[in-house]
Amino acid sequence: TPLSHIRNFSIVAHIDHGKSTLADRLIQSTNTVSAREMKEQMLDSMDIERERGITIKAQTVRINYTAENGEEYVLNLIDTPGHVDFAYEVSRSMRAVEGSLLVVDSTQGVEAQTLANVYHAIEADHEIVPVLNKIDLPASDCDRVAEQIEDVIGIDASEAIRVSAKTGQGITETLEAIVHKLPAPKGNPDAPLKAMLVDSWYDSYLGVIVLVRIMDGQLKKNDRIRFMQNGTVHHVDRIGVFRPAMTEIDSLNPGEIGFLTASIKQVRDTRVGDTVTHEKNPTDKALPGFKPSQPVVFCGLFPVDSAEFEDLRDAIEKLALNDASFSYEMETSAALGFGFRCGFLGLLHLEVIRDRIEREYDIELITTAPSVIYHIHMKDGEMMELHNPADMPDLTLVDHLQEPRIKATILVPDDYLGDVLKLCQDRRGIQLDLTYAGSRAMVVYDLPLNEVVFDFYDRLKSVTKGYASFDYQMIGYREDKLVKMSILVNDEPVDALSTMVHRDRAEQRGRAMVEKLKDLIPRHMFKIPIQAAIGGKVIARETLSAMRKDVTAKCYGGDATRKRKLLDKQKAGKKKMRQFGKVDIPQEAFISALKMD
C-alpha cells in the first residue's frame, strides 16, 4: 500500500463512552471479520478487563476500507489503555499514529479522562476528529456536548460526527472522515530501519509479541534487529499484522503497524517507546524522549496460607514476564511471614494484578497498606527512598522527609462541588484552579499522592453519586511533617499495618484505625488492647473485651448437625485469618482498617 493510502489512528475517550463498541463496529462494517466471528468487545482480550469494562493493554487492528471515492485504504487502529495509571503508555503509543477519533458520549459530555487523553493526542500533534456517540439514546444532546468540546478542549467541533456505535448509524461517515481528515503517514523506505516499539505482551506459544510502527526503512522476516535502549540483538522469526487475528506477511514498510516475534522471553526486555533498528546499517538517531514507566505505589502481597508462598512466587514471576511496569522483590514480615513487596503504576494496576493472582492462580492474598515512595533526607546529607514504612530508619538520623505530590483534575456537576472541595481539603489538598463549563465545574488540586492512593477515588465516586471524573499526574516531591504510625495488637506491633501519616492528622487517623480494628478483629478468650503509636508514644487505644461464652453453647447440646455446621462455618472464616502472636486477624482488616470515612 502506498503511504498516501494508509491512515493510522487511535480512539481517545473517557471510560464507558463507547471506545470498544465503536472499534468493534468499524471492524465489523468493513468486513474485517465476518459477523459470526465477531465477538462483542473483541479488542478487550482479557476477561478481567471485560468484567471491569476497561482496556489495559493496547492492541491494534488493520482494517481494509474501500472509500466512497472507490479507492482502497488501509486503516490501522491502535487501541490505547484508558486509565490514568497507564498515562505514560498512552502518550507513547499516540506517537505511533497521526490522528485520533475523540469519542464523547453525547448523553454525558467531556470528562476528566477525555481531557487527559485528548491532551496526549494534541501533544503528539494529532489531527483530531470529534465523534459524538450514543445518539440513539433519548438523553443525547449533541449541540450541548459539541459546544462543551469547543469550550473545554478548544478544538472545532462544528463538524463532529454523530454516531451510534450501537446501531451503526454514522459509521460510514466516521470511516470517510478517517480517510479524508487524517493525514497519511510519512517515511523513507530507503533510509535505515527505524521503528517504534508501541507495545508488547507475552504469548505462551510465540513468546513476546512486539507491536511496532515503522518510521523509516523496511522490516523483513529473518532480519537481525537491535533494541536501541538496552542494546539487545534478536533474530526476527515472524512478522505480520492483526486483522484482528494474527496474519503473517513478508515485510513491513514505512507508515505500517504490525508485529514481530523474535524468541524474546520477557516483556521487560521490550520497553514501550524504544527504537528498533537493524543490527547492520542501523539508524544513527533513536526516537526521542524514551523513559520507561516507573512504579509509584507499593504494597506487600502475602499468601493467607503460608504454604502457598512458592505458588505466589510462581504467579508473580509469570505476571511480571508480561508486565514491564510491575516490580517485585521478596519481603519478610514479622507478622505475615514470607511475601513480596510489589510496585505498581497506580491503584488500578495494583487491583488488577491482585485480582489476577487470586483468580487465575487461586491464591488468597493479604494486601498490606499501599504506600508511595518517600524521600528521606538523612542528617549526613544522603537521600534514601522509602518504599515500605516498615523500613523507616532511626528518626534521630533523619533530617526531613519529602512526599510525592500530584496535580489532580476533577470534573463534577455543580451540585456536588462543595463535597468535592471538602474531600480534597480533608486530604491535605491545595486548590490550584476552579473553572466552570456550563453546569460542570473543573477543579484542579495539588494533593499528596499518599492521600489519594488508598480510597480517594472510591470516596470521590460516592460523594458525587458517580458523577465526578478524575485524572492525575505526578508533579514532584515536597517536604512535610510526616511520621510513621505503628499499630500494636495485644502489645505486639503488626508491621503490615504501619503507615506513614501527616503529624497533624496522626491522632485522628490512629483513633479511627484502632476503632475499626476493634470491630474487625473477632473476640478472643482474653482481652486484647489495640493501640496506635508514633515512636514509643501511644496516641490512641481501644480494648477488645474477652468472649464470654462458647459459641456452640447456644446450640442446645443435642443437635449434632447444627453444631457441625457452625464449626464448619467458623473454619471457613478461619481460613481468611492470620495469627499474630495469640490473636487471629481477618484478612479484610488490613484493607478496611485504612479506609477513612
| Residue closer to ligand GTP (CB basis): 137 or 475 | 137
Q: Is 523 helix (H, G, I), strand (E, B) or coil?
A: coil
What does DSSP assign to residue 525?
S
3-state helix/strand/coil string of 433-498: EEEEECCEEEEEEEEEHHHHCCCHHHHHHHHCCCCCEEEEEEEEEEEECEEEEEEEECCEECHHHC
Out of 134, 278, 440, 484, which residue is the one contacting ligand GTP (CB under 6 A)? 134
Residue 234 assigned as binding residue: no
Residue 346 assigned as binding residue: no
Shortest Å distance, C-beta 413 to ligand GTP: 20
Residue 19 assigned as binding residue: yes
Residue 136 assigned as binding residue: yes
Q: What is the DSSP string of 244-272?
A: SSEEE-SEE-TT-EEEEE-----GGGS-T
Residue 535 assigned as binding residue: no
Out of 3, 137, 179, 566, which residue is the one contacting ligand GTP (CB under 6 A)? 137
Beta-bridge mates of residue 73? 65
Out of 8, 55, 59, 371, which residue is the one contacting ligand GTP (CB under 6 A)? 55
3-state helix/strand/coil string of 197-232: EEEEEEECCCEEEEEEEEEECCEECCCEEEECCCCC
Shortest Å distance, C-beta 44 to ligand GTP: 6
CA distance 368 to 291: 29
User: Per-residue b/e over 404-441, b at no fewer than 16 CB within 10 Å?
Assistant: bbbbbbbbbeeebbebbbebbeebbbeeeeeeebeebb
| Residue closer to ligand GTP (CB basis): 17 or 234 | 17
Regarding 296 and contact with ligand GTP (CB under 6 A), the answer is: no
- Tell me how far apart the terminal alpha carbons of the chain are, to the nearest angstrom: 59
Out of 16, 127, 141, 492, which residue is the one contacting ligand GTP (CB under 6 A)? 16
Out of 8, 10, 12, 17, which residue is the one contacting ligand GTP (CB under 6 A)? 17
Out of 10, 60, 77, 82, which residue is the one contacting ligand GTP (CB under 6 A)? 82
Shortest Å distance, C-beta 131 to ligand GTP: 10
Regarding 53 and contact with ligand GTP (CB under 6 A), the answer is: yes
Out of 63, 165, 512, 530, which residue is the one contacting ligand GTP (CB under 6 A)? 165
Regarding 19 and contact with ligand GTP (CB under 6 A), the answer is: yes
Residue 300 assigned as binding residue: no
Regarding 164 and contact with ligand GTP (CB under 6 A), the answer is: yes
Q: How far is CA 434 from the centre of its chain?
A: 27
Residue 82 assigned as binding residue: no
**Of 285, 368, 315, residue with least CA distance to 591:** 368
Regarding 59 and contact with ligand GTP (CB under 6 A), the answer is: no
Regarding 353 and contact with ligand GTP (CB under 6 A), the answer is: no
Residue 5 assigned as binding residue: no
Size of the site for ligand GTP (CB under 6 A): 19
CA distance 369 to 593: 9
User: Which residue, chain included where needed, has cell 464448619?
Assistant: 568
Q: Is 316 helix (H, G, I), strand (E, B) or coil?
A: helix
465 — alpha (psi -120 to 50), left (phi > 0) or beta?
Answer: left
Residue 181 assigned as binding residue: no
| Residue closer to ligand GTP (CB basis): 114 or 498 | 114
CA distance 350 to 207: 24
CB 98 within 8 Å of CB 3: no
Regarding 100 and contact with ligand GTP (CB under 6 A), the answer is: no
Residue 14 assigned as binding residue: no
| Residue closer to ligand GTP (CB basis): 157 or 210 | 157
Regarding 46 and contact with ligand GTP (CB under 6 A), the answer is: no
Beta-bridge mates of residue 161? 131
| Residue closer to ligand GTP (CB basis): 82 or 240 | 82
| Residue closer to ligand GTP (CB basis): 14 or 484 | 14
Shortest Å distance, C-beta 584 to ligand GTP: 39
User: Could you tell me which stretch among 14-22, 90-98, 181-189, 298-306 binds ligand GTP (CB under 6 A)?
Assistant: 14-22
Q: What is the DSSP string of 58-91?
A: -EEEEEEEE-TTS-EEEEEEEE---SGGGHHHHH
State the binding site: 16-21, 133-136
State the binding site for GTP: 16-21, 133-136
Q: Which residues bind ligand GTP (CB under 6 A)?
A: 13, 15-21, 53-55, 82, 133-134, 136-137, 164-166
